[in-house]
Every structure is written in structure tokens, then in C-alpha cells.
């Protein structure tokens, strides 16, 4: 990645050893309440120190063992889903290929202080002058205000070959099955069976979640996702459609992310104790004890 890599991140974790920070903070927290002596060996572990040591078990990492397998979108994907092939797709496909790709990663915070935000940047790079671009992404901020009352949204590639949201389903207040329930069941059955998952429908759960993004149409896209509900649902799924010149047959996908919490939601005892720590440690926790990761994949295109 180039020198502009980290411009979008709200926290700079470059060159910071998170585990070392946590170990130091735990010792400092224990020392604040130490009564048995000044040497670390005689300090009792405090609840706050134990809590901070537990943060070392957080997981926010890319899947580094597997490969990325972009799926090439063709006219057959539309016809198989009984959807008219978009004119825009037919025109663009004369010069470009389009691939659906998902970024594989895992989030696993300690249960008593969940992640509340995720920031991720993905950058594409191909050898030579011809470069790919990120054509469409999900989730995307333009759908933020379209979420239905139950916190879900159905999105698919529309007739203009861009993601569009379906109208919110009709909710029958009496609980009597109706048109809305039938349509939702049909969509969810399609998703579970694997039919239509290339062009949609995609079902997203966006309860109490704020989505922000930038960079669509360029080689680099950035997401920021805020909201505990999103992570509790365990369905955080970042999807991209790449637009690549037909001459491009291989590219590199560079990804970086930071996951963190809202310090205001931390245990009140921890909040009080952190205020007594040195500035660097205090800032780390006030930023939500962020955990960074990065990875690169080399991808072959069919």
C-alpha cells in the first residue's frame, strides 16, 4: 500500500504493539491498588487488571489461510434469476469484466465488552497501466435510511446494474400472514438455497447501525460501521463488485482494518481507573482498545 493508506482511519495503530500496551496497562492498574509492596511480584491482580489482560484474547483478523475467489458476473446470472440483463451491463461488458468478491475476516471480542465499530480499507492493484476499480459495495451508506422497521433490508442489482433496495415489506400488525410475509419468505428461501446470490437478493441486518463509506469508482474503498447490534447479529458481510479491464488477469487485494469499542460503554470501574493511567495508555482505551490487522491476497481472474 502507498503512503496514503491510513488517511481514512480514525486511530493510527502503525508501529504500536497492542499486546505490550495491554500488559503494561494491566500492571499499572494492579499497581494503583497494590497494598502488599512495590515490586510487581507482590502486587495482587485487580479486577480491572484482569479485565484488561482478557482483551488480549480479542480477535479481529483477516482469514489469512484461504484465498479469494472472485465470481465473474455474466449474462447467465441475470437470466438464471429470471431478470432482464441490464443494458448498462451489456455496454460496459464490452470493455470490462465484473467480479463479485467478499472480504473474509473474523471478529470475536470478549463477551463483556463487544466491538462497536469497524473500519476497513480495501485497495486493488494490477500490474501495468490498466487498473481495476471498485464498482459497487455492500453495505453502503445510501441505503441507511431505507431499513425496514424490523431492521432488515433486501438489496439486489437492479435494471441500471447498480445495487438498489427493495421496498420495505408490508408488516401486518395483527400477525396474520400476508403479502409482506410471503415475499420475505421467498427472498430468504432464495438466499438460503444459494439462488440469485450473485446479483441478489442480499439480506442485511442494520439494526441501530450507522454505515459510512467512500471510494466507490476508485481502486480504494473505505468502510466505517458503527453499532453494537450489527456485530451481535454475526452477519457482518462486506461485498464488492470489481470492474476490471479485460486485459487484467491478476491483481493484488490489500486490506486493512481496525475494530474497537465505545469507551463510554466500558465498565464504570474501568473507566475511572483508566483516567489515572499515563496519557498514552489512557488514549488507547479512550479509542476503544482498538485491534488492527492487515493482509494481502494475489488473485487470478478468469
pLDDT digits (tens, 9 = 90+) for 283-296: 999 999 999 999 99
Average pLDDT, stretch 38-62?
84
- How far, rounded to the nearest angstrom, does the alpha carbon of residue 103 sit from its chain's CA centroid? 8
Whether residue 223 is predicted with pLDDT greater than 90 in this model: the reply is yes
Res. 39 pLDDT band, cuts 50 70 90:
low
Which stretch of 47-56, 97-106, 153-162 has the lowest confidence by average pLDDT?
153-162
Which three cell numbers, joined as nine digits, stand for 8?
481514512
Q: Which residues pair with 71 in a beta bridge?
A: 100
Pair 105, 257: CB distance under 8 Å = yes
Per-residue pLDDT at 178? 38
Q: What is the pLDDT of residues 246-258, one digit of tens each?
A: 999 999 999 999 9
**Mind listing the pLDDT tens digit for each residue in 173-211?**
444 443 344 444 544 444 444 445 688 888 877 666 788
What percent of the chain is modeled with pLDDT above 70?
79
**Rounded Cα–Cα distance for residues 119 and 9 (Å):** 7
| Mean model confidence pLDDT for the chain | 83
Helix axes 18-32, 279-286, angle to 10 degrees: 110
Q: In terms of pLDDT, which residue wins out, 221 or 4? A: 221
Neighbours of 199 (CB within 10 A): 21
178 DSSP assignment: -
pLDDT digits (tens, 9 = 90+) for 58-90: 999 999 888 898 999 999 999 988 889 999 999
Q: How far apart are CA 116 and CA 265, in angstroms?
A: 9
pLDDT at 83: 87
pLDDT for residue 41: 52
pLDDT at 170: 45
**Rounded average pLDDT over 20-28:** 95
Answer yes or no: are the C-beta atoms of 124 and 252 closer than 8 Å.
yes
Listed in sequence order, the DSSP H helices in the chain are: 18-32, 47-54, 75-80, 87-92, 179-193, 228-232, 268-274, 279-286
Q: Following DSSP, what letter does each residue of 17-75 receive, concatenated?
A: -HHHHHHHHHHHHHHHT--S-SSGGGPPPPHHHHHHHHGGG-EEEE--SS---PEEP-H
Name the band, by pLDDT with cuts 50, 70 and 90, for residue 222: very high
Looking at residue 209, what is its pLDDT?
79
* Cβ-based neighbour number of residue 107 at 10 Å: 17
Amino acid at each position: 500500500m502507498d503512503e496514503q493508506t491510513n488517511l481514512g482511519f480514525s486511530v493510527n495503530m502503525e508501529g504500536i504493539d497492542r499486546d505490550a500496551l495491554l500488559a503494561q496497562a494491566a500492571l499499572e492498574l494492579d499497581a494503583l491498588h497494590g497494598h502488599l509492596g512495590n515490586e510487581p511480584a507482590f502486587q495482587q491482580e485487580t479486577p480491572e487488571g484482569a479485565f484488561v489482560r482478557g482483551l488480549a484474547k480479542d480477535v479481529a483478523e483477516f482469514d489469512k489461510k484461504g484465498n479469494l475467489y472472485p465470481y465473474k458476473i455474466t449474462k447467465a446470472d441475470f437470466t438464471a434469476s429470471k431478470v432482464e440483463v441490464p443494458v448498462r451491463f451489456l455496454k460496459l461488458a464490452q470493455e470490462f469484466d465484473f467480479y463479485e468478491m467478499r472480504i473474509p475476516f473474523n471478529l470475536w471480542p470478549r463477551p463483556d465488552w463487544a466491538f462497536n465499530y469497524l473500519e476497513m480499507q480495501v485497495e486493488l492493484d494490477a500490474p501495468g497501466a490498466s487498473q481495476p476499480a471498485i464498482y459497487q459495495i455492500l453495505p453502503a451508506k445510501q441505503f441507511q435510511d431505507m431499513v425496514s422497521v424490523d431492521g432488515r433490508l433486501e438489496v439486489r442489482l437492479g435494471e441500471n446494474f447498480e445495487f438498489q433496495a427493495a421496498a420495505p415489506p408490508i408488516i401486518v400488525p395483527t400477525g396474520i400472514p400476508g403479502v409482506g410475509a410471503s415475499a420475505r419468505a421467498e427472498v430468504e428461501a432464495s438466499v438460503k438455497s444459494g439462488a440469485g446470490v450473485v446479483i441478489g437478493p442480499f439480506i442485511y441486518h442494520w439494526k441501530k447501525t450507522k454505515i459510512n463509506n467512500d471510494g466507490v469508482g476508485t481502486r480504494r474503498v473505505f468502510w466505517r460501521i458503527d453499532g453494537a447490534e450489527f456485530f451481535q447479529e454475526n452477519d457482518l458481510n462486506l461485498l464488492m463488485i470489481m470492474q476490471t479491464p479485460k486485459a487484467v488477469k491478476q491483481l493484488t487485494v490489500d486490506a486493512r482494518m481496525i475494530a474497537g469499542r465505545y469507551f463510554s460503554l466500558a465498565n464504570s470501574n474501568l473507566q475511572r481507573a483508566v483516567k489515572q493511567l499515563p496519557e498514552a495508555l489512557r488514549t488507547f482505551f479512550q479509542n476503544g482498545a482498538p485491534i488492527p490487522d492487515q493482509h494481502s491476497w494475489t488473485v487470478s481472474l478468469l
